[in-house]
Amino acid sequence: MIASGMGRGEAGLRNSLPLIIIRLLLVPAVVYGLIRWALPGLPPLAATILLLVSAAPPATNHALVARRYHGEWELVASLQLVVHLAALVTLPLWLSMGLNL
């Protein structure tokens, strides 16, 4: 669905930038802060897994739901593609920070 919806949805900066900032930067930053200052005794593996889960892009089932309920599934699929591409940059950064805890 992501491949077939690409190009038909308007996934411009106005739509994709807030998703990237909130989902890939703000949420992992809050989790990193909690791990660093509120849970200092957390085992390193648990801390890394929590950070990984918080920094991962959202699941791809949103386009399926939008299509099922006659929503703008092309837009949703395009936004998912953009967010997943941005996660290729942000996820390794968060993982390296998690492994250095």
pLDDT per position in the chain (101 positions), as tens? Answer: 666 655 555 667 888 899 999 999 999 999 999 999 998 889 988 999 999 999 999 887 888 898 899 988 888 888 888 899 999 999 999 999 888 87
For residue 63, what are the domain limits?
2-99
Number of domains in the chain: 1
Report CA-CA distances (Å) from 68 to 6, 64, 81: 18, 6, 19
Report CA-CA distances (Å) from 8 to 11, 29, 42, 48, 78: 9, 32, 45, 37, 8
What is the pTM assigned to this prediction? 0.81
**CA neighbor of 44 nearest in space, from 98, 93, 97:** 98
The answer to whether 85 and 11 have CB atoms below 8 angstroms apart is no
Count the residues in the chain: 101
